[in-house]
């Protein structure tokens, strides 16, 4: 991958990293709540780049090396996060991007697809939800794990153990959880984060939807990717997304929870490369 760079968006700086040839179709990867770009793993990005894509991952506000909001009071909402994504595309000289919104950032992806369709070549909703009230809620085991008190950030070992345990909970009953691999990512994320605790600000932001409609107004090609065993948004959320978006296609990752395990990278990469291929090549 290319070296990390800082892009200024108003009074905010965002840490951005790319892989591949800028002349190839661009994929903008947006991770979910409290997750930095490390969650879009370097090897995964390189695989997508090897498939002929220009891949962009970045630290959203309050994660990694990007600007953090002190004091637990984020002065931004989901529409601001969508504007950040557009600003990154602008800074990289990209007229359009294929947007991938994961978990919380499915909301960001929806805003981009509905309110800015001229900038979005396609959209992928991964491990996310329509938010319909009739859908099943998170598992009790997941709720118990994420509601456990967090240790002090400056207690390195305790913090790492806590984050690993939370990520394990996001995988639910999946047998694909790789603790050694996850622990390495958590250590890397902690080492490069300006303020690891600030990422929890994502759970406090307002989440307004698009100005010009909802899932039924998505007019760009749409892909839905969902883990079979997701304990956060159980699989019916994936079916609901597919059904709500005109022409959407659903890919279910067998045996996967809310996360994207390395054991399912082949399926994910193949689906995303097919989805983002130039129209004549599909």
Active site residues: 103, 230, 258
Query: What count of other Cβ atoms lies within 10 Å of the Cβ of residue 144?
Result: 10
Q: What is the rounded CA–CA span in Å between residue 275 and residue 127?
A: 17
Are 64 and 38 spatial neighbours (Cβ–Cβ below 8 Å)?
yes
Tell me how long the chain is.
282
Beta-carbon contacts of residue 121 (< 8 Å; ≥ 6 apart): 25, 26, 96, 97, 98, 220, 221, 276
- By the 10 Å C-beta count (0-12 exposed, 13-18 middle, 19+ buried), 166 is classed as middle
- From residue 165, alpha-carbon distances to 169, 186, 189, 253, 260 in Å are 6, 11, 15, 22, 16
Q: What is the rounded CA–CA span in Å between residue 196 and residue 191?
A: 9
């Amino acid at each position: 991958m290319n070296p990390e760079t800082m892009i200024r968006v108003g009074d905010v700086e965002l840490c951005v990293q790319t892989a591949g040839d800028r002349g190839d179709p661009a994929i903008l990867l947006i991770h979910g709540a409290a997750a930095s770009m490390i969650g879009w793993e370097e090897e995964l990005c390189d695989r997508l780049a090897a498939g002929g894509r220009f891949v962009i991952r970045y630290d959203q506000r309050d994660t990694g090396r990007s600007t953090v909001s002190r004091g637990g009071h984020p002065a931004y909402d989901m529409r601001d996060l969508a504007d950040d994504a557009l600003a990154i595309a602008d800074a990289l000289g990209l007229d359009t991007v294929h947007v991938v919104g994961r978990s919380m950032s499915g909301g960001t992806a929806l805003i981009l697809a509905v309110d800015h369709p001229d900038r979005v070549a396609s959209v992928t909703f991964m491990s996310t939800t329509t938010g319909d009230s009739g859908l099943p809620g998170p598992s009790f085991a997941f709720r118990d794990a994420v509601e456990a008190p967090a240790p002090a950030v400056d207690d390195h070992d305790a913090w790492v153990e806590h984050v690993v345990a939370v990520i394990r909970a996001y995988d639910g009953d999946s047998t694909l959880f790789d603790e050694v691999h996850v622990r390495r990512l958590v250590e890397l994320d902690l080492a490069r984060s300006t303020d690891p605790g600030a990422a929890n600000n994502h759970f406090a932001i307002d989440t307004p939807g698009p100005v010009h409609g909802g899932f039924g107004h998505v007019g760009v090609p749409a892909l839905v990717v969902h883990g079979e065993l997701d304990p956060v948004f159980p699989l019916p959320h994936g079916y609901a997304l597919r059904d709500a978006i005109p022409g959407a296609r659903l890919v279910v990752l067998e045996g996967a929870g809310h996360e994207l395990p390395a054991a399912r990278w082949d399926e994910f990469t193949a689906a995303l490369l097919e989805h983002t291929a130039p129209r004549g090549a599909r």
